[in-house]
Structure 1
């Protein structure tokens, strides 16, 4: 277009000079040359802009513009896939480090951290997109670029990792390590059952809901691990080392998930006890804040809604005192009239205090702000941990939205916890980050639970691998695409690597049969 506009200008200039022979006619050729050069440069610039606008893949382009809906679908798929790759790679890296030492796998750990950093940036961009920030196409393409870089790095290290790990050679040692962990976990299942019973008696449903089914799910993962460990033992006893690798790898990941589920119960019990112990101090601080706010009602430096904030705060404090048995701590909580949720109580008190801050144009500082921050971090850590467990143990079903909210919650929690790396946040900023981290984590867990419900039961057609499929332990085989039939989990266990290599240990028919018979007496035992 620039060239089209400039051509008439050139013609007009030349015509003018021809009609006026007394003018500087010797300037015609230089003038034409300059104008043509500008036109060519403008035309080249337009072509570059158009090529950039139609680029749809990292480092390449196509003649057609990919619709935004398709780019969005690709970005969601790649975020989920890359997140699974990073989680699985970390898990297998831990198994390798336990047997051969951390220094041996250092370079592969660095690859995982590189991929995790790229993934974190991709999730941050996705969060910005969901918040309505930035130009949509640019953000979507950057998400794809980041995910591609993460996956390529893990894919590039997969072959070397296999040589270090050498499961075909180290299977007996790896089997013994996994059997030891299995036996330790089976002893913990009963403890988790008892701990959950205590939580149900003492706290409201909302308090223990994040781990309500963890004991049963842990048993499911352990049953799957038990069968895989016995198949591994049988293969090794029959000198079929190659046949032992696939069930061994599946058993390792299943044991990891059982550990995560049982640890989640223990962690939540600790968080609830700590929150109950903090409630008396939190209530006293809230009443002091309310008294201070009442004294400022007639000043000109407060907002008009302060009176309403005070009324709301008084109702929150009264409700929490009633729930906890007139402000009792850990001991007195047992005498509360009804089971309650101490974490939610702390969250409501902090929200009330934040509202008073805004209405008074006040920035929390000093020891009072630090005390509030510690309570807010307690809530955020517990909430983020519960959401992370939900996503990790059900990653075969959890989609992009829940993972994006979790990633943002983890980022905000790290910011709130930062006390050493500049810039260290002020207490007020750290408080805001901690509150937002808890809010995002609660939303992430809700979205993950929704995805699991929508996914349904993966135990169709008599399969015994449903929990392993739901947990992303077993992958779908490529042959399930299109019209060719298959079962969930046909692809075998996930391994260290990116999208192109993580399914390299194919399961074939190994996980397709109905539930196996009970293991032989010399097996690792049953949960």
Structure 2
């Protein structure tokens, strides 16, 4: 209420001043009339003639019919003043009626957003912040390769702080989704905390964006030639790795069931698509540098770097899965034997583990026949028999198996969200952030389950989003994947500027 009274004083003061001015003008007019009236009657003969000495005064002659001008002045002015004051009062009443929201009351402060509006704001803030952190991490990898860790420490520090704020915001949001806290006021505060932490994360990145551009030479002289060469060098390395990734996928399909490599199906093709886009953008950056077109050179370089980074994520996903499957295949016999011992001991102790024994028997049969997916077998084994720390130093086989499965699930979900970020919503990102927390806390089973939920939700988002941009030849080749991956921000008709290191205020600053 106090804030309203303070804001309302100037309006009331202005109204009082207007009334005083009107009264003062009326007084001036009235006084002027009284002063001028004698002058207006100087030329009029006396109504009563002066009597001469020695003569008897005669009766005054009758007044002429009608009224003199002087006699009309005062009544006329009084009438005009009355009409003016009445009109002014009516105008003030009409103005108060228009500005008053409720008869007799005025709201003291703007109404708070509804819970639905606050939730929408929180979702949007989480998604935007997560994109900013991911993009900043990608660009900083190129800068670190060019200048070393010594000159990039300030940017690394800002990125770590932003990542911490983002993780905390996701943790608050996840608890909110699960119904905690329950009090309506506390829930509003939780949403405010989510939005505030996201804002702080963006502020930390925004504060360093200009300094990063200076380090990279994104000013009048354009991109650092060495930086462009570094992007081109990584591009050439990835071109060879894409070919190897296709061969690796063929080997995985021949060795394991199709379900084993399903999570990276199409990754080699998508990596090639990103590199096709990078080809056009890096060539364009080189041409713009030669022509002295600084803005265009920076814009094209950043788009090319983003495409190269995502091609690396896609190829790396295939290579990572192949390594995890090989590791899982080596671990299955030990994990299976450990689980069977646990189940037998439990049955002998009267715990009744017959269902577990049946699951383990089926897993051994698949493994012996060579038809099982090693990671899926480990998942089923560890979910059947809860892994416990081994008696000897270090984790036992079951614990190692559970950790391997969880890591693989979290890594796969991270890769998928990274290269489809423009389509992935808040729910999938929140599950992924929770999976990362659970993995860090050592809760392997929970991390695996939640990461699976994140991947499933992200896949639904991508299928619902589709690819609205049609691929073409030349400069627009690979455009659909670039937009879907968030390499280009779809803000303009030409798919928007490239995403860059920074928060919401600066991430789209490079425009040709």
Considering the TM-score relative to the shorter chain, is it more than 0.5? yes
2:365 to 322, 325, 328: 322
Query: For residue 366 of structure 1, what is the aligned residue in structure 2?
Result: 391
CA–CA separation in structure 1 for the residues paired with 2:247 and 2:285:
32
Separation (CA, whole Å) in 1 of partners of 2:240 and 2:429:
32
Residue of structure 2 in register with 1:67 after alignment: 114
- 2:407 pairs with one of 381, 384, 395: 381
Residues 476-520 of structure 1, C-alpha deviation per residue, up to 9 Å, x if partnerless?
22xx5xxxxx35x2x21011110011000125xxxxxxxxxxxxx
For residue 238 of structure 1, report the CA deviation from its aligned partner: 2.4
Rounded to whole Å, the distance in 2 between the matches of 1:176 and 1:127 is 43
157, 163, 170: which one pairs with 2:214? 163
For residue 170 of structure 1, report the CA deviation from its aligned partner.
Answer: 3.9
Question: What whole-Å deviation, never above 9, does each CA across 1:393-442 have from its counterpart, x for those lacking one?
Answer: 111111101111111111111121xxxxxxxxxxxxxxxx0111111111
Change (3 A) 1:364 1:112: closer
TM-score of the superposed pair, with normalisation by structure 1? 0.72
Q: Which residue of 1 aligns with 2:379?
A: 347
**In 1, distance between residues paired with 2:511 and 2:148?**
27
Residues in 2 aligned to 1:351 and 1:74: alpha-carbon distance in whole angstroms: 38
CA distance in 2, matches of 1:312, 1:71: 47
The equivalent residue for 1:436 is 446
1:493 to 470, 493, 498: 498
Q: What does 1:71-470 align with in structure 2 at a 5 Å threshold? A: 71-134=118-181, 135-167=186-218, 168-297=221-350, 306-307=351-352, 310-325=353-368, 336=370, 338=371, 340-354=372-386, 366-367=391-392, 370-416=396-442, 433-460=443-470, 464=477, 465-470=479-484
Shift of the 138–505 alpha-carbon distance from structure 1 to 2, 3 Å rule, reads same
Are the counterparts in 1 of residues 296 and 511 from structure 2 also a CA contact under 8 Å? no
2: distance between equivalents of 1:440 and 1:342? Answer: 20
CA contact (8 A) 2:317 2:415 kept: yes
Contact 2:278 2:305 in 1 (8 A): yes
Partner Cα distance (2:468, 2:277) in 1: 14
Q: Is the 8 A contact 1:275 1:343 kept in 2?
A: yes
Compared CA separation, residues 438 and 461, structure 1 to 2 (3 A): closer
Displacement of 1:461 after TM fit? 8.0
Distance 1:466 1:170 in 2: 26
CA-to-aligned-CA distance 1:417-474 (integer Å, 9 cap, x gap): xxxxxxxxxxxxxxxx011111111111111111110110132385531110000000
Which runs of 5 or more structure 2 residues have no equivalent in the other structure? 1-107
Is the 8 Å Cα contact of residues 223 and 298 (structure 2) preserved in structure 1?
Answer: no
Q: Distance in 2 between matches of 1:212 and 1:75?
A: 33
Q: Distance in 2 between matches of 1:235 and 1:456?
A: 33
Provide the C-alpha distance between the structure 2 equivalents of 1:122 and 1:348, rounded to a whole number of angstroms: 33
Question: How large is the Cα RMSD of the aligned pairs?
Answer: 1.8
What number of residue pairs does the alignment pair up? 394
